[in-house]
Structure 1
């Protein structure tokens, strides 16, 4: 079972300063280390790697958006319209082995905790249950994994694009709450393995 991803580290990091080498409002800057391009709607930003422990990573933009990832999966956020406070899987995440999804279906169940930036208890939703089905395919020189999820009044599709040889995910669109919608992520510079 996946470890629970607490919000405490994200709350601390959302207020920390992290320099970005160029103004990220005008496209990706030249970055020296691992970086992601993040986009919610028309709001693009560059997120730099702050911390890494194996496949668990924390990324932060200049304007305070913090994203926690486990491999290619977003497991927590801060600084958006709605925060994903935690993600817990019942069993393994099929996205851990994206090439194993090619030509077959896999199911997963996860619980997500959501909250608003004002941390109003009335807006908090704990244990939002999501039932998801993942399917992968090779389309030319691209691996595409689509994940359809529903439950607790939510219905959305995440997409992950990757290398068909290695399974490495380099781009994705992932749900981060009803108000925020899909978070677009592109790897600008990959983190160390």
Structure 2
């Protein structure tokens, strides 16, 4: 299925002399482009669809762009989420935004069945920024050490992957992914998207991968 590219993804070159986190010099994807299409002009959901919960309220999200494994979704309230497979890689429209996320090596979530017998460890680096994009609200290269393991559920066709992550000086958090046992596609997920916002819950109404 083809999807119209409704707006560009300009890159914001950010630099910040932060004393807590090293400035990696990475370019951040500005998901809320000034030329975004009016909400009433967004396409009606078809094919893949996404439902989001943030702070207990559910809202549907429209698929705006699809570039390989990367997909961009937007709610009618202006929240934008970028996903790769079933993992959130960036957000916008929140008081604190996940500007970028990357792994040192492959993402173990890509092979969930292998995590049943062999839990895996991974290191993620994330960039955060406040909604006002002021330099003092930007944090680059935050290191998260994560451990992933899978377990069966009552539904023989579904596995639950738990991802426990910690950063220096924090108590950490746990992401949960419900995935198809056969193909590994994420059906539902609860994910951390920043220390100052609630966990983001997503339900894919079609294959995530």
Question: TM-score under structure 2 normalisation?
Answer: 0.79
Farther-moved stretch of structure 1 (182-191 vs 52-61): 182-191
Could you tell me how far 1:33 is from its partner in structure 2? Answer: 3.3
After TM superposition, list the pairs within 5 Å mapping 1:73-152 onto structure 2.
73-141=87-155, 142-152=158-168
After TM superposition, list the pairs within 5 Å mapping 1:1-193 onto structure 2.
6-8=28-30, 10-12=31-33, 15-19=36-40, 31-141=45-155, 142-154=158-170, 155-190=172-207
Matched residues, number: 180
Could you tell me how far 1:19 is from its partner in structure 2? Answer: 4.2
Answer with 1 or 2: which has the greater Rg.
2
Question: Where in structure 1 do 4 or more consecutive aligned residues deviate above 3 Å?
Answer: 13-16, 18-21
Measure the CA separation in 2 of the matches of 1:136 and 1:36. 23
In structure 2, what is the equivalent of residue 27 of structure 1?
Answer: none
Measure the CA separation in 1 of the matches of 2:55 and 2:72. 21
In structure 1, what is the equivalent of residue 13 of structure 2?
Answer: none
RMSD between aligned residues: 2.2
Measure the CA separation in 2 of the matches of 1:173 and 1:119. 26
Could you tell me how far 1:176 is from its partner in structure 2? Answer: 0.5
DSSP 3-state at the match of 2:131: coil
Measure the CA separation in 1 of the matches of 2:69 and 2:131. 26
* Residues 38 and 86 of structure 1: CA distance in aligned 2, closer, same or farther (over 3 Å): same
DSSP 3-state at the match of 2:113: helix
Q: List gaps (5 residues or longer) in structure 1.
A: 22-29
Q: List gaps (5 residues or longer) in structure 2.
A: 1-25
Measure the CA separation in 2 of the matches of 1:159 and 1:14. 35
Question: For the Cα contact (< 8 Å) 2:185–2:207, is it kept in 1?
Answer: no
